[in-house]
Chain A
Amino acid sequence: MNEPEVAVGIDHETWNEESPYRIPSRKLGMWLFILSDAVTFAAILYAYAFVRLATANWTRPFEVSSIVNGVVMTTVLLVSSVTTLAALDAAKHNQRSRSVTWLGVTMLLGMLFAALHIREWIKMIDKGWRLFQNPTGGPVLFGSTFFCITGLHLMHIIAGVVAIAVVAIKYSRGSLDTGHVESVGLYWHFVDLVWMFVFPLVYLMNAK
């Protein structure tokens, strides 16, 4: 009576319950990762909000040049999101080389963003900003929060560039499929999305 049904060699859809989300596991995994990463960023942004609220004389050091630089960085990142979508679009039409080219453009834009960002950091470090030091003599926590939040974001950018590189290479060789292009794109858009909070909250709110 307890003999189970037996069958071999029939694919996933036939023998599995449908996922409530009807998406491949990889994409669901990516979404879950994004959810948890969003909580990570939220926690660190809340920490920033906490120390800022608790500080009476917060330093607002950003010159117009920094804000302009920030706008350029934002633009670069937004455009890179569109190029990711272009790569996905090409992949869906089975145009592998075109898709890989767009992924390459995304990587270049990502690296440009990182370069602009690091230039900004170097400028600030030259002025005397440190994790634990405020050259203007105000509360030291501006430096701490700025470097922590943007540093965490920068790590995500660099990881994203590496991930896109891996996907692009493997995709051009044919060992990965369109779904991977989409998943890495999801991650890239998420990094972009986080920047949409980091830019106003960390840059604009600290403009002179």
Chain B
Amino acid sequence: MDNTGTSRVLGMKANLLLCFVLLCIVGIEVFLTYRHLSTETLLAFLLVLAFFEAAIAVTYFMHLKYESPNLAWSLIPALIFVLFMMGNMLPDAMRVLNLRVIHW
């Protein structure tokens, strides 16, 4: 942290490089979309790639890496915990699918 209270960030060259990497990942995502994968496989790939992108964005663009580690340790586990818990509603979606009244 410098005297403006802002955190260190990467240089512009590195930022452009990261931007390029992110665009490449988007390219991979689009490529995968048209590979006729099953929905589940595609979803798994896309989610992994999206979380990877998000990690890059949070770490460097939002420069969480250069803040106090406490901040990352407070925010990220809290969010992951909430995301994980929300997942508990999905078994019921399957139940809705399986017990759906077809003609009702």
Contacts and interface: CB of A to CB of B under 8 A. Distances in A.
Interface of A: 20-24, 27-28, 31, 35, 38-39, 42-43, 46, 49-56, 67, 71, 74-75, 78-79, 81-82, 85-86, 88-89, 92, 177-179, 181-182, 186, 189-190, 192-193, 196-197, 199-201, 204-205, 207
Interface residues of B, number: 55
A23 B7 contact: yes
Nearest to A23: B67
Contacts of A21: 67-68, 70-71, 74
Contacts of B50: 196-197, 200-201
Interface of B: 1-2, 4-7, 9-12, 15-16, 19, 22-23, 26-27, 29-30, 32-34, 39, 42-43, 46-47, 49-50, 53-54, 57-58, 61-62, 67-68, 70-71, 74-75, 78-79, 82-83, 86-87, 89-90, 92-94, 96-97, 100
Given A35-B79, A197-B54, A182 B7 contact: yes
A178 B61 CA distance: 16
Contacts of B19: 78-79, 81-82
B26 A39 contact: no
Given A55-B97, A71-B26, 7 more contacts: A23-B5, A31-B75, A53-B94, A78-B19, A78-B23, A179-B5, A200-B29
The binding surface of chain B is classed by DSSP as helix
Q: Kindly list the 10 A-B residue pairs having the minimum CB-CB distance in the complex, ordered from nearest.
A: A53-B93, A54-B96, A200-B46, A178-B4, A24-B5, A54-B93, A204-B33, A196-B53, A50-B93, A189-B61
A180 B32 CA distance: 39
Contacts of A42: 79, 82-83, 86
Interface centre among A42, A54, A181, by most chain B C-beta atoms within 10 angstroms, is A54
A200 B49 contact: yes
Contacts of A92: 2, 4, 6, 9
Nearest to B64: A31
6 contacts: A55-B97, A74-B26, A79-B19, A88-B6, A179-B4, A182-B7
Contacts of B27: 71
Contacts, number: 146
Contacts of A75: 23, 26
Contacts of B10: 85
A182 B7 CA distance: 9
Nearest to B102: A56
A182 B6 contact: yes
Contacts of B9: 85, 88-89, 92
